[in-house]
Chain A
Amino acid sequence: MQLVVSQLLPAYFDESVTQVSEIWGKEWAVEKNDLIKIVAPSGSGKSSLINFLYGLRTDYTGMISYSGKDLSHFSPEQLAGYRKDHISIVFQDMRLFADETAALNLEIKRQLNPYHPPEKIKEMAERLGIDSRLSFKCSTCSYGEQQRIAIIRSLLQPFDILLLDEPFSHLDNNNSEKAMQLILEETRARNASIIYADLERSEIFPYTRIYHL
């Protein structure tokens, strides 16, 4: 697998941003075991980039290709396969089923392509300190708890690339570190890469490459 990004620029951005950005309008690729940090101030298109890479939006110029195939030409079925087997994500806005329990939210993702057995959910929840919240509806959980549920959900499937969009914005340092530890363990176990996008430079993520959006 290889994710190659070429001359990418949101359709609604001015060409001039390519002069200051290390991402927009440039050539770059994600290799195995890469830990890429993207520092992106507000309004620089951080979430747009994450959505483009995940195949949620195609309103851009340039090209994103995965294993040599243009992502914007993926059929709905190919996109489903891409998200099920090759790429995982922690959204900035979590995107959980608010009226369902945390356990059901996690099981829905786990059963799609079971990388871990069902017991692993409990084990991960214990590590992140939310095991007591598993039987509660997500709408009753705090943002911090919801963020940890979203992190565990992203680790229940096989992946080559893990996209993290401000994954610790609602967590304190202690919980962020615990979560980062778990993420790194799971990523290493898969020989996968991480693209970590955040507003500012933080030392919690041991990146191998850093880009400024």
Chain B
Amino acid sequence: MIELHRNGQRLAIAGELTIYHAAEVHAALVPLYAETELDIDLSGVSEFDTSGVQVLLLAKREMAQAGHALRLSGHSQAVLDVFALLELGGLFGDPQLLPAGGAPA
């Protein structure tokens, strides 16, 4: 399951950001590259794999090349785990807030 909610310059991704849905998410993101600023809310991401990482990396690169800003926010635990493993925090440059009260599993 994956759900995408767009609200202006904000896109919330919820569910499994994995190979099963990577193509769908990518297709939804491409038109948004034109926005000068985009905020992707990852708080609802329950599963996250390499294909998910790639879709976000590509968005970051494409928007950066056009001089647009992509911000990731609300990193869910699944996202934080992968970012920590692959040391992606610096690459994306967004502050990752640990979920309040919840210690990472």
Do A and B interact?
Answer: no
Q: Which residues of B contact A (CB under 8 A)?
A: none
